[in-house]
């Protein structure tokens, strides 16, 4: 079994949930027509990311239901970035994965908060995510800054994931993360990395684009440029994961007792 993944690189409309969900619906339809089994949005795409005090009123429970309806209507799984309000009123930077039938497969809250922007708006999640399967392909997720810590991707690889999906809102001056670090994460863990970023600007941020899907041997399977808007699509093959781990024995040759 394989899984074709579509990543949506887009600027979104800061603070306009209806407009952003319309973009997701259109992208889901296109991705399904092109054979994808899952669509991935950037970090916090449903509401906007760097929108300050406008965020809290938009962080409503119905956002997940609206994503689920799009998934059902389009016949494609969706991993969407959105805010989540906790019982105590705190807000997390979250992603939710919905299958093609509208059922929730996974919800993850960003554990590594980046700088004053994240810490002003969000509280950190308390746990890294587990692994779920779509069409026999084992997936885990991270959000943006999470992937910059090598332990997070290594944990997913040791858990048997074929791919780590990373919705992100990576901004200037950190284009080197998208360009250089992501292929390294894939290579050092023999895992596919799906890195889906924003473009354009939001407040004082300029996003760097450069979304990519990288194979376990470090080969870039699909990518978009710094300002491109659209879908990047590639197929995740668990056999490629297994071959990479035979050819590059980093995981097998680890000596964790020394670390």
For the chain, the straight-line distance linking the first and the last C-alpha, in angstroms and rounded, comes to 36
User: Given 30, 84, 110, 148, which residue is catalytic?
Assistant: 110
Burial 202-229 (b: 16+ CB within 10 A, else e): beebebbbbbbbbbbebeebbbbebeee
For residue 219, indicate whether it is catalytic. no
* C-alpha dihedral (219, 172, 26, 193), degrees to nearest 10: 30
Euclidean distance between CA atoms 168 and 95, whole angstroms: 11
What is the sign of the dihedral through the CA atoms of 178, 21, 78 and 122?
Answer: positive
Cis, bond preceding 97 (omega within 30 deg of 0): no
Closest among 97, 68, 66, 63 to 80, alpha carbons compared? 97
| Catalytic residue status for 179 | no
CA distance 184 to 180: 7
User: Which one of 30, 84, 144, 202 is the catalytic residue?
Assistant: 144
Give yes or no: 257 in active site: no
Q: Spell out the residues 6+ positions from residue 51 whose beta carbon is closer than 8 angstroms to its own.
A: 14, 15, 202, 203
Range list of β-strands (E), the chain: 3-9, 38-40, 77-85, 91-98, 104-109, 132-134, 137-141, 163-167, 192-196, 201-202, 205-206, 212-214, 220-223, 230-236
For the record, the structure tokens of 10 come out as: 């887009």
Tell me which of 43, 84, 148, 202 is the catalytic residue: 43
Active site residues: 43, 110, 144
């Amino acid at each position: 079994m394989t899984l074709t993944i579509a990543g949506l690189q887009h600027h979104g409309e800061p603070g306009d949930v209806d407009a952003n969900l319309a973009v997701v619906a259109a992208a889901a339809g296109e991705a399904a027509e092109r054979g994808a089994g899952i669509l991935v949005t950037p970090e916090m795409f449903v509401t906007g990311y760097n929108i300050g005090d406008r965020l809290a009123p938009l962080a409503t429970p119905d956002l997940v239901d609206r994503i689920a309806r799009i998934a059902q209507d389009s016949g494609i799984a969706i991993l969407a970035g959105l805010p989540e309000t906790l019982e105590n009123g705190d807000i997390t930077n979250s992603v939710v994965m919905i299958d093609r039938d509208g059922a929730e497969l996974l919800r993850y809250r960003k554990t590594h908060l980046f700088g004053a922007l994240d810490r002003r708006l969000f509280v950190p999640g308390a746990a890294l995510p587990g692994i779920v399967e779509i069409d026999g392909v084992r997936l885990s997720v991270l959000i943006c800054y999470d992937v910059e810590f090598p332990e997070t991707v290594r944990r997913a690889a040791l858990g048997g994931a074929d791919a780590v999906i990373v919705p992100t809102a990576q901004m200037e001056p950190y284009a080197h993360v998208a360009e250089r670090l992501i292929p390294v994460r894939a290579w050092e863990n023999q895992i596919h990395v799906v890195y889906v970023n924003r473009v354009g600007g939001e407040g004082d941020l300029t996003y760097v684009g450069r979304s990519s899907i990288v194979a376990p041997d470090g080969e870039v399977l699909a990518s978009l440029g710094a300002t491109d808007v659209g879908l990047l699509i590639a197929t995740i093959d668990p056999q490629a994961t297994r071959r990479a781990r035979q050819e590059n024995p980093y995981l097998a040759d680890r000596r964790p007792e020394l670390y």
